[in-house]
Amino acid sequence: MLKLGMMNFYKRLRLTLKKAKGFTIIEMAIVLVIVGLLIGLSTPMIRALTNRTIMSNSRDITKTAYESVIGYAISNKKLPDPATLATLIGARTTDAYNRTLKYYAVSELIANSFCANKGTYLLIDDSSSGATISKTDIAFLIFSEGQDRTNSTGVASTFTVLPQSNTYDDIVYYLDINTLRQKACNTFKIVTDSLPIATVGNAYLNTTLGATDGTAPLTWSIASGSLPNGLSLSGAGVISGTPTAAGSFPFEINVHDDDAPQKQVNKTLSITVNP
pLDDT in tens, 170-193: 999 999 999 999 999 988 899 999
Mean pLDDT (the chain, rounded): 85
Q: Answer yes or no: is 3 within a domain.
A: no
Looking at the structure, tell me whether residues 143 and 48 fall in a common domain: yes
Q: Is 252 within a domain?
A: yes
Q: 141 with 126, same domain?
A: yes
Check whether residue 161 and residue 208 sit in a common domain.
no
Reported pTM: 0.71
The predicted pLDDT at position 24 comes to 66
Domain containing residue 160:
42-184
The structural domain count of the chain equals 2
In a domain, 37, yes or no: no
Q: The CATH number of the domain where 211 resides is what?
A: 2.60.40.10
* Residue 29 domain flag: no
Does residue 11 sit within a domain? no
Which of 164, 184, 204 is the last residue before a domain boundary? 184
What average pLDDT does range 30-59 have in this prediction? 69
Same domain for 171 and 92: yes
Examine the pLDDT at 84 and tell me if it is beyond 90.
yes
Boundary (domain end) residue, out of 127, 152, 184: 184
What is the chain written as a DSSP string? -HHHHHHHHHHHHHHHHHHHTTS-HHHHHHHHHHHHHHHHHHHHHHHHHHHHHHHHHHHHHHHHHHHHHHHHHHHHSSPPPGGGHHHHH-S--B-TTS-BPEEEE-THHHHS-TTT-----EEEEE-TTSS-EEEEEEEEEEEE-TTTTS--S-SSSEEEE----SS---EEEEEEHHHHHHHHSPPPEE-------EETTS----EE--EES-PSSPEEEEEEE-PPTTEEE-TTSEEEE---S-EEEEEEEEEE-S-SSPPEEEEEEEEEEE-
